[in-house]
Structure 1
């Protein structure tokens, strides 16, 4: 199956209107304005932020960082320092909704849940939303514990703990409140820095492949640059070898990385890079991190 087919599939967002009913339906919750998260003495008016405050994960939200097609990222403070809060929109309010290509190969044992998600009913959309968010936490923990350069997840590792924060994902902020780590796509690099970033990016792709993962959206837009170190971000669409499109997604990741690095003066052949990444998989793995009690 061709990578072009995959691109067409991903571009085919589900834009069908919700069925009309006799009762007024709740408007899907999209991007939250910073003012709604930070006003009022009791800590804000947004119920998700209030829950994070009550759980003790954050103490305040200080700034909006970036708004993307699925979520908005905010800078917050917490008991362990600066926090990045990635707050997902409800699925109906997201511009990217067709995640089926990434979910292929997953087994859902509950037949009713499987039908609800496949039919995109309100209950099914809620399940998809929770699964999307919880998957990012689970992937973050797996990659972080394996020693890969990813943000440290700040809730978990037990699913019971991080499920309580849905639809938010909390991770350690890369950079500082005054100077947030830029994406590699926005960073200004010297030739030596560009080459170092390229090598680290290939090692990161190989590190995920070693664990049986492919990122699914791997480019300089999902890589941060801070203190001469590349940090990989954005993992909800990460998929495993059980996905029948695994190899196509891997090739597309390589192509995206090659294309996006051209602005930094790196010229590479995708087929050669793919072989290089596969060779690196057999090399030494990073030292795993140990969770402190």
Structure 2
């Protein structure tokens, strides 16, 4: 993005122009980014996914049914290494095939494997589910009661929801990993990075002040595009934004809500904006949430779709 004319962000940051960068904070992020830039371990936890099929060729190759299904459908050819493990999911790097990535069958893909919802730790899970299962009261009741059927349904629905949101946002032009396929508790998508490792999160990228400023403008613009589609991310911060070749890429969408279906969508959007501003504070920028929220609405209204919420005017 060019800065030939004064933008909303210029005005927000003018008051900080005289402030010096915090060397200790910047050194901390730079050192952390250097550690994270090294190649991740290639064998850690991968063995847990491999069945005794390594010894018995008649047995399934993978213990997870979703991974096994994607493998049998020739969506990936081999499991390479574990990329990241969290309370909600573990992400593995796999090798593509001609069927899944025709332009480059040797490309890397990311396989996101959700853990069972009984041990998953999405905070305020019901907050995001409001309006999501309208018309299916049996499923909603089963999930609320944590029955076996409800737990199984919730696992599948979280995966399908993220895949659906990825697909919709990718078609809209929002910079997100391109979705490839899904099965069971697994989503297969574009890997953001290269053979040397993944793109870092903004919170860990060791950005200069100018890079952080550019990243903030992109992050706000992307949030506005998401809102123009009638959606709210639900967990928007530098932790869920990657920095790849000078571009901000948005990840992690299972908590996304629809504006016209969730009565708490505005509350979730405002919290997303506060989280974005707070986490950019660690990068040396301190935008005001009110100004960012106003800019998000302006971007949404400037890029309308048939889903753009128009009843709230922050112009």
Same topology, TM > 0.5: yes
Report the counterpart of residue 148 of structure 1 in structure 2: 174
The structure-2 alpha-carbon separation of the partners of 1:46 and 1:282, relative to structure 1 and needing over 3 Å to count, comes to closer
Q: Distance in 2 between matches of 1:134 and 1:96?
A: 16
- Displacement, 1:137? 0.4
Q: Distance in 1 between matches of 2:296 and 2:65?
A: 44
Q: Deviations over 1:192-222 (max 9, x none)?
A: 2111100000001000110111100000000
- Displacement, 1:280? 1.6
1:245 to 250, 257, 264: 264
Q: Distance in 2 between matches of 1:110 and 1:217?
A: 26
Tell me which moved more, 95-104 or 173-182. 95-104
1:216 to 212, 234, 238: 234
Q: Deviations over 1:210-246 (max 9, x none)?
A: 0111100000000000100000000011001121111
1:112 to 126, 131, 138: 138
Q: Distance in 2 between matches of 1:254 and 1:151?
A: 22
Report the counterpart of residue 125 of structure 2 in structure 1: 99
Report the counterpart of residue 116 of structure 2 in structure 1: 90
- Displacement, 1:108? 3.4
Report the counterpart of residue 25 of structure 1 in structure 2: none
Long gaps (5+) in structure 1: 1-31, 156-161, 287-293
Q: Deviations over 1:14-48 (max 9, x none)?
A: xxxxxxxxxxxxxxxxxx93112246265444433
The structure-2 alpha-carbon separation of the partners of 1:132 and 1:45, relative to structure 1 and needing over 3 Å to count, comes to closer
Tell whether the 8 Å contact from 1:258 to 1:267 is kept in structure 2 after alignment: yes
Tell me which moved more, 169-178 or 214-223. 169-178
Q: Distance in 1 between matches of 2:193 and 2:237?
A: 20
What SS is found at the alignment partner of 1:112?
helix
The structure-2 alpha-carbon separation of the partners of 1:232 and 1:54, relative to structure 1 and needing over 3 Å to count, comes to same
Q: Distance in 2 between matches of 1:285 and 1:181?
A: 30
TM-score of the pair, normalised by structure 2: 0.74
1:190 to 188, 208, 231: 208
Report the counterpart of residue 289 of structure 2 in structure 1: 270
Tell me which moved more, 38-47 or 76-85. 38-47
What SS is found at the alignment partner of 2:193?
coil
What SS is found at the alignment partner of 1:128?
helix
How do 1:118-157 and structure 2 match up within 5 A?
118-155=144-181
Tell whether the 8 Å contact from 1:37 to 1:45 is kept in structure 2 after alignment: yes
Q: Deviations over 1:62-111 (max 9, x none)?
A: 11011112100111111122110000001112133641100112343233
Report the counterpart of residue 198 of structure 2 in structure 1: 180
2:246 to 225, 228, 238: 228
Report the counterpart of residue 48 of structure 2 in structure 1: 36
Q: Distance in 2 between matches of 1:90 and 1:236?
A: 14
Long gaps (5+) in structure 2: 1-43, 102-106, 306-315
Tell whether the 8 Å contact from 1:38 to 1:61 is kept in structure 2 after alignment: no
- Displacement, 1:284? 4.3
Q: CA RMSD for the aligned pairs?
A: 1.9
| Alignment of 1:259 onto 2:278 | yes
Report the counterpart of residue 29 of structure 1 in structure 2: none
Query: Which structure: larger Rg?
Result: 2
Tell whether the 8 Å contact from 1:75 to 1:177 is kept in structure 2 after alignment: no
